[in-house]
Structure 1
Amino acid sequence: MDPSALSARPVLVLDFGAQYVQLIARRVRERHAFARIVRHDITAERVRELNPLAIILSGGPKSVYEPGAPQCDPGLFHLGVPVLGICYGMQLAVQALGGKVEAPPAREFGRTDCHVLDPAEPLFHDVPRDTVVWMSHGDQILDAGADFLPLAATSTCPIAAAKHRTMPFYGLQFHPEVSHTPYGSLILGNFLDRICANPRSWTMEAFIERAVEQVGRQVGPDQRVVCGLSGGVDSAVCAALLARALGPRVVCVFVDTGLLRGGERADVENVFRSHSEAELRVIDASTQFLKALEGVTDPQEKRLRIGHTFIDVFREEARSIPGAHFLAQGTLYPDVIESGGEPDGPTATIKIHHNVGGLPAELGFELIEPLRDLFKDEVRRLGLELGLPDSLVWRHPFPGPGLAVRCLGEVTAPRLEVLRQADAIFLDELRQAGLERQIAQAFAVLLPVQSVGVMGDARTYENVIAIRAVETEDFMTADWSRLPHEVLARSSTRIINSVKGVNRVVYDVTSKPPGTIEWE
């Protein structure tokens, strides 16, 4: 979708390699402004063409005075567009405008007491004069020069915030985007609302209206869109949005691979038959997938065989749909950024994005990605706005290969059933404890080992189930959830008592990195 169709004046976030760059963009969007992440060396001329509401310079791992440190086009500061520099971004701008950045004797990392020097300053409207901020820097501005006015200070950083006396530039040495800065969201909001005159036009209601109009222009009156449903929230919201725009001209294809979570097929059928005008086709291909996985234990080989089988099944069904011209995918904004798919975006490719393994090229379809400008939390809000039930919108992420990569070792129907039952029990315990929405992802894993146990005074030698729950904002890093011991105890007892063939449950306490969220 053309970003210009979504917002007349975006907030451009220049990426200098910041750990929190996506978080900055998300915080801006929470203030109802449309943020786009762009490359740090974007030209002033290109920025002028994009006509932004504001520019934000992100933090970064380098020192601004190092040879080869990333720089921005100095012409940005002369466009008349308000600029906010964060950490590295502040240092970069001050150095470019005549100030001096050095490594001081004392560094600042973590929560730091900060004093606001001028409470009448719009940037700090309603922020206490003495507050806490999150610092993460080894360099700082020792001499900003006569053109800058200090706005805040800490005990070791005399210029913790500043503004230029004649240009619309503001700088923060601390990170307002992280939750460890309690008033950070308010400070960002003050910059957008009080300094940039933010029209607050980025809402899900407005997004739906514009997206429906855009899809209607892209898809001809005699053309149809094929949308592959996976059971996850992204594909479900994608399908619901397309159905709002095109009605029965959307054909949702749900392939039952036999590798789904418990009740997943029925849930998808119930939702889309009762909440959508789109046509739904359910293909039971479980026998084909299990046959393809016979004797396979290597996780990469599992993924390859599942991908090839899926393409074969999907291709056969899609070609039977008259007028099918487009293939819809639930691609999200982080996918676009990480795959280098944004024309003005960062150039480093973190991963090659693919949702349906090469299907557009194989089928000769044109790709349509109506969610490519949204973050995950925005997709959930969009789903609720479109009338999808909470049970689907808040469902935890599920890997494309399904339970095959949570069933370590050979994948067989009996082993999948053991895993499916254990997984359902664990998720049910989280729901009953009111923890499901606090956890980003939770699931069970069937290990390829057996252990000795005792049941009814008899020796057992049965399967081991691992349960995993993680907390994360971006899924690029994650920490294991500190679940209450009572929840873990109930989950273990229920799994062992209810799932035949399991006599031991363990809890995974590995963060990402060094581990990954999934086991395979």
Structure 2
Amino acid sequence: MSPLAFTLDIAMSDALHSEKILILDYGSQYTQLIARRVRETQVYCEIHGHEMAAEAVRAFNPQGVILSGGHQSVYDVGAAELNDAVMALGVPVLGICYGMQLLGRHFGGTVAPSDKREYGRAEIQACAGQVGALFEGFVEAGAKSTVWMSHGDHVEMLPKGFVTTASTLNAPLAAMANEATHMYGVQFHPEVNHTDNGERLIHNFVRTICGCHGLWTSDGFIEYEVERVRALVGDDKVILGLSGGVDSSVVAALLHRAIGEQLTCVFVDNGLLRLNEGDQVMETFAQNMGVKVIRVDAEARFLGKLAGVSDPEKKRKIIGHTFIEIFDEEAGKIENAKWLAQGTIYPDVVESAGTKTGKATNIKSHHNVGGLPEDMQLKLLEPLRELFKDEVRKVGLELGLPHRMVFRHPFPGPGLGVRILGEVKKEYADLLRRADAIYMDELYASGHYERISQAFTVFLPVKSVGVMGDGRTYDYVVALRAVETKDFMTATWYPMPHDLLSHIANRIINEIDGINRVTYDITSKPPGTIEWE
């Protein structure tokens, strides 16, 4: 059942479910960004593998189809082909990069290797008189615009019925359109931030060409999800692992509205939290919101199991398994507890290779989707699983959560366990949480916190030589991280003012005995990840 219906009225619910876009994944690293851009138009979409079964295609019944890019050449042995069932739908189709090449060849055009491959920024020029509905407001006829290219092959000869709508120096056919059949192709990637005004092109396809009205809203999502949870859970009890982060906090508020006293939040103080976080969580939810919260002191248990473990994946799995063990134990104390709720969101699923396509590279195991034991006794309830972070925040505000809580930077489920590189020790965690508290205090005080998408401190288990006063020190190193991002699928490092960095570093070194060096991470994603582990 889709989580994105927006009314309790059955007829209206059916109508809203009928307005959706199908995205076929051909292996592009940007496929999830296409979905993000479609959702920005307030239209529901799903990503499926390009080999999606004909019956499933017809049952989904989309208003339009987007073909993603991909790393293959159409000439590779076993290269992915167009899905016949999708093409038989008769709905508008937009092919992006590899998707454009597939469309071109399918309709009788030719695709050839480029003499000079294009990767990165490029300049397109829209053809005079041939812009059409897709480019309306994106680029004017005859004008130039910056786009993001990533291709080796290109459409060399147009298929019958198509016209060229844009070109570059290296790709004379950079975009094509058949307005009569509503078939479109672009060699560039409109879904990435590097393409100027690319969101307008996606909007044109979804709202103008496919005729979608944009009925998917956060308040509608809440109404539907509340009823869905009530119907699914019945009289059962639900326990939620409450971390105090944005995702689990929104889940707590949503489930409290849906099932009230049937929800019990379990806050596990695992010794890997930020400074004073346990007290803050209890005050916010138990005292101010009336949510039932059980606090479990499990620091010794977690640190004991993590002793001697340095591998990041093993740490994540140990933390995930230990959480579940505790949840199972607490659930055993609650009569009729059958469900475990989690704050899993879409990027968690993507980075754990959990998309419907099954083709995503497994970057890391998220504790929610990669660390759960197969014999877990509780059934999973993940109401935010299909949402991106900013969508979750909109839902949180609709539910009445405080702005500062809703716009708090993400904090990983494994907590400081993955911000301490290598083995986790209590000494390291204590040093790290104090350093991170100083960092956050200064970001808030300087006004930079809300300009940054995510900031945190990383503990490096190495020592460096320093000088304090007349003495020599040999203490630990921490790294400060801050990034800007819209969707957490890609990110750029934040240009922190040098005087602010200097002030933060001086405070950390002067106020924390045991740290004598502070560094700043200027790695973007890709090639790095946002978290270090």
TM-score, shorter chain, exceeding 0.5: yes
Of the three residues 152, 157, 162, the one matched with 2:171 is 157
Q: Which residue pairs with 2:34 in the alignment?
A: 24
Tell me the CA shift for residue 363 of structure 1: 5.1
Alignment of 1:10-409 (within 5 A): 10-109=20-119, 110-118=121-129, 121-126=132-137, 127-129=139-141, 130-132=143-145, 133-164=147-178, 166-220=180-234, 222-273=235-286, 276-293=289-306, 302-303=315-316, 305-337=318-350, 341=354, 345-348=356-359, 350-351=361-362, 354-355=367-368, 362=375, 364-408=377-421
Tell me the CA shift for residue 367 of structure 1: 1.5
SS of 1:461's equivalent in the other structure is strand
Letter in 2 for 1:96: H
> How much is the aligned-residue C-alpha RMSD, in angstroms?
2.8
Q: 1:186 to 1:262 in 2, by over 3 A?
A: same
- The Cα offsets for residues 296-342 of structure 1, whole Å up to 9 and x where unpaired, read as 66656655554454344332222111221211122222344555656
Q: 1:511 to 1:157 in 2, by over 3 A?
A: closer
Tell me the CA shift for residue 356 of structure 1: 7.6
When structure 1 is superposed on structure 2, of 114-123 and 405-414 the one drifting more is 405-414
Tell me the CA shift for residue 176 of structure 1: 1.3
Q: Which residue pairs with 2:429 in the alignment?
A: 416
- The Cα offsets for residues 233-266 of structure 1, whole Å up to 9 and x where unpaired, read as 2211112111121122111110111221012112
Does residue 451 in structure 1 map to residue 451 in structure 2? no
CA distance in 1, matches of 2:253, 2:244: 13
Letter in 2 for 1:178: V
CA distance in 1, matches of 2:308, 2:131: 70
Q: 1:454 to 1:156 in 2, by over 3 A?
A: closer
CA distance in 2, matches of 1:196, 1:23: 19
Contact 2:236 2:262 in 1 (8 A): yes
Q: 1:298 to 1:88 in 2, by over 3 A?
A: closer
Contact 2:67 2:93 in 1 (8 A): yes
Q: 1:362 to 1:107 in 2, by over 3 A?
A: closer
Letter in 2 for 1:346: T
Q: 1:293 to 1:113 in 2, by over 3 A?
A: closer
CA distance in 2, matches of 1:209, 1:405: 36
Q: 1:276 to 1:10 in 2, by over 3 A?
A: farther
Q: 1:186 to 1:480 in 2, by over 3 A?
A: closer
Contact 1:360 1:367 in 2 (8 A): no
Contact 2:67 2:94 in 1 (8 A): yes
Tell me the CA shift for residue 207 of structure 1: 1.0
Q: Which residue pairs with 2:13 in the alignment?
A: none
When structure 1 is superposed on structure 2, of 275-284 and 21-30 the one drifting more is 275-284
Tell me the CA shift for residue 270 of structure 1: 2.6
Letter in 2 for 1:39: G
CA distance in 2, matches of 1:458, 1:328: 53
CA distance in 2, matches of 1:40, 1:297: 38
Letter in 2 for 1:112: E
CA distance in 2, matches of 1:146, 1:361: 53
Tell me the CA shift for residue 14 of structure 1: 0.6
CA distance in 2, matches of 1:178, 1:359: 33
When structure 1 is superposed on structure 2, of 416-425 and 109-118 the one drifting more is 109-118
Of the three residues 474, 482, 495, the one matched with 1:461 is 474
CA distance in 1, matches of 2:287, 2:520: 38
Does residue 487 in structure 1 map to residue 500 in structure 2? yes
CA distance in 2, matches of 1:452, 1:90: 56
SS of 2:134's equivalent in the other structure is helix
Contact 1:77 1:167 in 2 (8 A): no
CA distance in 1, matches of 2:369, 2:118: 45
Letter in 2 for 1:73: N
When structure 1 is superposed on structure 2, of 508-517 and 325-334 the one drifting more is 508-517
Tell me the CA shift for residue 13 of structure 1: 0.7
Q: 1:447 to 1:73 in 2, by over 3 A?
A: closer
Contact 1:224 1:324 in 2 (8 A): yes
CA distance in 2, matches of 1:125, 1:477: 27
Q: Which residue pairs with 2:11 in the alignment?
A: none
Listed as ranges, the gaps of 5+ residues in structure 1 are none
- Aligned sequence identity (%): 52
Aligned positions, number: 517
Contact 2:66 2:96 in 1 (8 A): yes
